Amino acid sequence: MKNNGTQTIETRRLLLRKLNISDAQQMFDNWASDDEVTKYMRWKSHKDIETTKAVINMWLKEYEKDDVYRWVIVLKETGELAGAIDVVNFNKEEKAAYAGYCLSKKHWNKGIMTEALKNVIGYLFKEDGIEKVKSWHHIDNPASGKVMEKSGMKFTETKKDGDVDNNGNPCDISVYEICK
């Protein structure tokens, strides 16, 4: 397994690239401040732009490591930021990566996250020697499971108290994976 980190990925409609501090306003406006978008995330929505800037500054420092994979999703047609996708964890023994993502509500149900996830999976398999990509969603968020299925992932299990919600409470999750 090699670590190439966050490299730019171009798809038919999307540009997946590293975040910049200049992305803060769009990130805040388009998804980070939206309670509906963050409802099933581990983190609460941002109440002000300063929170978003602080998060981006922390992530910019993390980009210095070669095992950080975090992309902002840019719509090529308009240049608008639609969301983010990243590798949230690795299991080196299994050569497995765990993907996480969020998308602006106005871009739901347009195939954008499926396109992004498929291409991130392909990148991890081809460029980094990853053998398996896994992801999970809160059981009350089946739309996220549809994204995983459309990206070629298969449901493997439901884990009781498998994660925590953005209030720190244990929650049940549905787990998916795809093997190289």
pLDDT at res. 45 = 96
pLDDT at res. 105 = 96
| Residues sharing a CB contact under 8 Å with residue 3, sequence separation 6 or more, in sequence order | 66, 67, 128
pLDDT at res. 175 = 97
pLDDT at res. 4 = 84
The 96-103 sheet, strands edge to edge? 9-10, 14-17, 70-75, 81-91, 96-103, 132-138, 170-179, 154-164
Predicted TM-score (pTM) of this structure: 0.95
pLDDT at res. 3 = 80
Which of 22, 10, 89, 16 minimizes the C-alpha distance to 52? 22
DSSP β-ladder status, 132-138 and 96-103: parallel
DSSP β-ladder status, 96-103 and 81-91: antiparallel
Residue 47: how many CB atoms within 10 A of its CB? 11
pLDDT at res. 92 = 87
pLDDT per residue of the chain (180 residues) written in tens, 0 to 9: 678 889 999 999 999 999 999 999 999 999 999 999 999 999 999 999 999 999 999 999 999 988 899 999 999 999 999 999 999 998 888 899 999 999 999 999 999 999 999 999 999 999 888 999 999 999 999 999 999 999 999 999 999 999 998 988 999 999 999 999
pLDDT at res. 98 = 96
- Give me the count of residues in the chain: 180
